[in-house]
Structure 1
Amino acid sequence: MKSVAAEKEMIRLASWDDCRKSKEVFAESFRKFEEESSRYNGPGFIQPHDENRFVVVNPPGPAITTEALDAIYALPYTMEPHPRYRNKGDIPAFEMIKNSITIHRGCFGGCSFCALTVHQGRFITSRSHQSVLKETKQLTDKPWFRGHISDLGGPSANMYGMTPLKTELCHKCRRPSCIFPGICKNLNDNPESLTKLYREVAAVKNVKKITIGSGIRYDLHLSRKSSFMRQHKEYLEELFDNHISGYLKVAPEHSEPHVLSAMRKPSFELFAEFYEMFRKFNHRKNKKQFMVPYIISSHPECTLGDMHMVKKKLNQMGLNPEQVQDFMPTPMTLSSVIFYSGINPYTGKKVFTEKVPAAKKIQKSVFFENNIKHNKYRK
């Protein structure tokens, strides 16, 4: 362990036994882990498990480069299911992704309920245009391809090419999100390269339509402080005009400020602004396109009364979600720590979280059932 620590900084976390005995200690230990993990090429971690045993999480390696990511995608993949699945009918997972292309990895959104940052890192690595175009041409030669690319995206749809302006500042930064509560001044949020990529892929022979299936972080395009407002407007025009299948799926997740803050999501007012832009565009272009919002119920801070407010506000806008996801704890996320401990690690304050299965079901059913008796569980 000394040799590992000697090479790079190691952070000592509270012992497993102390975390087991105290939810306050557990919450504080997570806060330290999340903040330190948010740094570019951050430290490793050591957690004592008894007097002589430790869990050691080695420091992360350097972020993968565009050249290395391109080299991975240049390997001779068949782009087909394993031969063992032949003659066994359609494979749902393959059917979903067979016409999609991954263009980047990583996510700097930092949503409290999402583990993507833990899986792929907070910093974006994008494939080159040449690499994406090469895969596009390979895809068009596949016997199942009929001209429709179902997604050009990654963990999110629109973080492609967005990297720090000065990477050295990120070595010290402990923000879990680069865009909440506001967009970081050190983030290059220019979407121009992504807009160009959409157009280049659309020009490939036998490509008839590209739709964007990954989630859009609309707050990236609505900042009044961005130096790239013209490019953001151009990106949204390109998206609305050419890359929607008829339904644009976005995830405001909620409407109430205290719940959105707990989620690390932008304000509902920003979502309403985005929806109004979308509506006006469709009216101007005479397009029949619709927006489908995704909502989470029973998230920490969310009461049944809050869910009724979400329904009221969306209905006033003429929107009704097709899907409401009941919050389920996901390992290594802030929301799960709050769910277990009842404490927000960043404020030390107690937080309400609905845990009663019947009450969670009622929160989820607000949009879909009119005859359920809610009063027993109203907070």
Structure 2
Amino acid sequence: MIHDFLPITMDDMKKRGWEQPDFVYVIGDAYVDHSSFGPAIISRVLEAHGYKVAIISQPDWTKDESVRVFGEPRLGFLVSAGNMDSMVNHYSVSKKRRKNDAYTPGGVAGKRPDYATIVYCNLIKRSYKNKPILIGGIEASLRRLGHYDYWSDKLKRSILMDSGADLLIYGMGELAIVELADALNSGLQAEDITFVRGTVYKAKTIDSVLENEQGIVLPDFEDCLADRMNYAKSFLIQYNNTDFATAHPLIEKYGEKRYLVQNPPQRPLTMQEMDDVYELPYMNAYHPSYEKDGGVPAISEIKFSLTSNRGCYGGCSFCALTFHQGRIVQARSHESLLREANQMVQDPQFKGYIHDVGGPTAQFRGPACQKQMKHGVCKDRQCLFPKPCKNLKVDHSDYIQLLRKLRAIKGVKKVFIRSGIRYDYVLADKDRTFLRELCQHHVSGQLRVAPEHVTDHVLALMGKPDASVYQAFVERFKAVNKQLGLNQYVVPYLISSHPGSDLKDAIALAESVRDMGYMPEQVQDFYPTPSTISTVMYYTGVDPRTMKKVYVTRNPHEKAMQRALIQYRKPENYALVKEALLKAGRSDLIGFGPQCLIPPREHKNSNTKNSNRHTNNRVKHNNDARHKRTGKKR
């Protein structure tokens, strides 16, 4: 087998001695052959099973010939928008066009279209009407059935319908893609491949799916358009059918006699299968043709990071992982990760620092409990919310051993943990070894965790533990660092204007920031992305789990106020913060006292003594809070 990048030109293909590729893979990202990039995994998995894959990266969607680079593939086209939904990639939460694209050579924006999967498929269909098209990746996965689209502010049909593709692969896709390739290779037509787990297909009749009462019929798409409550009900059924062991086929009707059928998810990969996937012969770099453009920025952070797991049973409402990777955690072996780390050390660009060892949640190294691999996850409860389940296996020992082995590799100076850690899981562990080693070896001054908010009713809607749990973690973190003689502190990730949060909740969050003594550099205004519980709340105004009403702000100005409150010290936020405080009846927070957020805005040549005194009081208050937090003596 040739160890090189897959072909991106006809010359590349001829060097390999190919007359025709089996699959042409059209992708919205630059071609980066690294296991953190979905197209790289899928193409290398196919290659390992004997299939020839050629890559067309970021084709010019205004020109039909851009997808004719390799002619007609033997089996079909694969299409992915890339590692991100193309609309998230293009637009901020305020729907302003982003200026950069980390997945494009040189970080240049605008190299892929909006709704890239749909555009690419239509482009292919114009030149190759009868060739099968299989779509996948995060954009297709999370838009596989009817879904709310924030950018058009409406309910959209399944991306399989709008793209004209033949089949959709959802989830991570390694098992499904091989089964689909084998089926096509055997001579089956795409419309006859209805049996592969982890796929969605079109159907004219659903009698066979309804046999033995296995299939579940969702509310018709048109009924969801007519009544948002129908969509909320549909989404809850979808959410409860994301597990490989318990999920049923789901049926969504469009018009009179058009159906979409979602097969149950593919099973979780075994540890050996995970090892095999991540040890395929990746080049671990972007294609050299991008060097002249300055490379691909997205690789900088992940090039020296290790993916140790996938899946998450954290259950955050604003996260789409349940729909994409599932709630059952799958992990790689220590041996596989150590082999990859030893290869990193040999890279001339490696400076001694492993940037991350983790996944969606860094310290998860297996299923939440023993029953999950046989019976699946619980439909009516979460593993960590509102409190850790009594059956939850809380054990950091395997992760600790892995980190110790990585630290011991010659040439490794430091192993960081930059994927999220679940602080409630840390607190649930009676053995404090992990927290001690985390502070001692894997943090450099700051530990970033995600409490997201401070008011309990908003946290409950987020699927996050009570604020008291975060405070308890912060206190324990301080205590451990004090024992170690280290000056380190926790930096929280916070979300503004999440469903359930009104101005009073946003002010409570601002007061919490005040009491921390410093202003967070990063604040995420809630971003309604496809296939999350929080997005359904945003669109419907109800929590689909309970059908109870939820306060939602869709007003851009109120969203701006909520965001500004978290960063109330920024001068450019003054007017928004003052307006919010007055509107909420909290003028007590406008003044010169240490509890105040902002001073009254004074006219020129007014009492500068008061202004200076207020500034000095705030500086003293902030310093006191900072010294109290870090334990550093003045």
- Alpha-carbon offset, residue 75 of structure 1: 1.0
**Secondary structure class of the residue paired with 1:229:** coil
- Alpha-carbon offset, residue 297 of structure 1: 0.4
Query: 2:370 corresponds to which residue?
Result: 165
> What amino acid maps onto 1:269 in structure 2?
S
**Per-residue CA distance 1:242-301 (angstroms, 9 max, x = gap):** 001221101100000110000000111110011111112222222121211110000000
> What amino acid maps onto 1:150 in structure 2?
H
**Per-residue CA distance 1:54-87 (angstroms, 9 max, x = gap):** 1111111211111111011121112111122123
1:248 aligned onto 2:447? yes
- Alpha-carbon offset, residue 236 of structure 1: 0.9
Match of 2:258 among 53, 68, 77: 53
> What amino acid maps onto 2:488 in structure 1?
Q
Taking the TM superposition and a 5 Å limit, the aligned residue runs for 1:361-376 are 361-370=560-569, 371-372=574-575, 373-375=579-581
In structure 2, what is the Cα distance between the partners aligned to 1:169 and 1:175?
17
**Secondary structure class of the residue paired with 1:92:** coil
**Secondary structure class of the residue paired with 2:405:** helix
Asked if the contact 2:286–2:295 (Cα under 8 Å) also holds between the matched residues in 1, the reply is: no
In structure 2, what is the Cα distance between the partners aligned to 1:37 and 1:56?
14
Change (3 A) 1:173 1:39: farther
Asked if the contact 1:210–1:242 (Cα under 8 Å) also holds between the matched residues in 2, the reply is: yes
Query: 2:477 corresponds to which residue?
Result: 278
**Secondary structure class of the residue paired with 2:298:** helix
Query: 1:44 corresponds to which residue?
Result: 249
Query: 1:118 corresponds to which residue?
Result: 323
Number of residue pairs aligned between Structure 1 and Structure 2: 373
1:153 aligned onto 2:358? yes
Deviates more, 1:8-17 or 1:254-263: 8-17
Query: 2:460 corresponds to which residue?
Result: 261
Change (3 A) 1:367 1:58: same
In structure 2, what is the Cα distance between the partners aligned to 1:61 and 1:335?
25
Taking the TM superposition and a 5 Å limit, the aligned residue runs for 1:90-109 are 90-109=295-314
**Secondary structure class of the residue paired with 1:296:** strand
Query: 2:174 corresponds to which residue?
Result: none
Question: TM-score normalised to the size of structure 1?
Answer: 0.93
Asked if the contact 1:303–1:354 (Cα under 8 Å) also holds between the matched residues in 2, the reply is: yes
Query: 1:349 corresponds to which residue?
Result: 548
1:128 aligned onto 2:327? no
Give identity over the alignment, percent: 39
1:301 aligned onto 2:507? no
1:76 aligned onto 2:275? no
Query: 2:181 corresponds to which residue?
Result: none
Taking the TM superposition and a 5 Å limit, the aligned residue runs for 1:29-40 are 29-38=234-243, 40=245
Asked if the contact 1:110–1:176 (Cα under 8 Å) also holds between the matched residues in 2, the reply is: no
Deviates more, 1:162-171 or 1:275-284: 162-171
**Per-residue CA distance 1:1-24 (angstroms, 9 max, x = gap):** 444555993221111111111111
Match of 1:324 among 504, 512, 523: 523
Asked if the contact 1:107–1:124 (Cα under 8 Å) also holds between the matched residues in 2, the reply is: yes
Asked if the contact 1:38–1:176 (Cα under 8 Å) also holds between the matched residues in 2, the reply is: no
**Secondary structure class of the residue paired with 2:260:** strand
**Secondary structure class of the residue paired with 2:267:** coil
- Alpha-carbon offset, residue 50 of structure 1: 2.1
- Alpha-carbon offset, residue 209 of structure 1: 0.3
Asked if the contact 2:269–2:330 (Cα under 8 Å) also holds between the matched residues in 1, the reply is: yes
- Alpha-carbon offset, residue 44 of structure 1: 2.0
Change (3 A) 1:327 1:200: same
Change (3 A) 1:7 1:158: farther
Query: 1:292 corresponds to which residue?
Result: 491
* Structure ranking higher on relative contact order (CA contacts 8 Å, 6+ apart): 1
Change (3 A) 1:239 1:13: same
Match of 1:359 among 558, 570, 581: 558
Can you give the 5+ residue segments of structure 2 that lack an aligned partner in the other structure? 1-205, 586-634
In structure 2, what is the Cα distance between the partners aligned to 1:156 and 1:3?
39
**Secondary structure class of the residue paired with 1:110:** coil
> What amino acid maps onto 2:537 in structure 1?
I
**Secondary structure class of the residue paired with 1:252:** strand
Change (3 A) 1:183 1:169: farther
Change (3 A) 1:176 1:52: farther
Deviates more, 1:33-42 or 1:45-54: 33-42
Query: 1:339 corresponds to which residue?
Result: 538
> What amino acid maps onto 1:143 in structure 2?
P
Higher-Rg structure is: 2
In structure 1, what is the Cα distance between the partners aligned to 2:253 and 2:582?
44
Match of 1:9 among 198, 202, 214: 214
> What amino acid maps onto 1:328 in structure 2?
Y
In structure 1, what is the Cα distance between the partners aligned to 2:381 and 2:222?
26
> What amino acid maps onto 2:496 in structure 1?
S
Asked if the contact 1:39–1:170 (Cα under 8 Å) also holds between the matched residues in 2, the reply is: no
1:174 aligned onto 2:379? yes
- Alpha-carbon offset, residue 319 of structure 1: 5.0
In structure 2, what is the Cα distance between the partners aligned to 1:7 and 1:208?
59
**Secondary structure class of the residue paired with 1:374:** helix
- Alpha-carbon offset, residue 189 of structure 1: 2.3
> What amino acid maps onto 2:580 in structure 1?
H
Asked if the contact 2:450–2:492 (Cα under 8 Å) also holds between the matched residues in 1, the reply is: yes
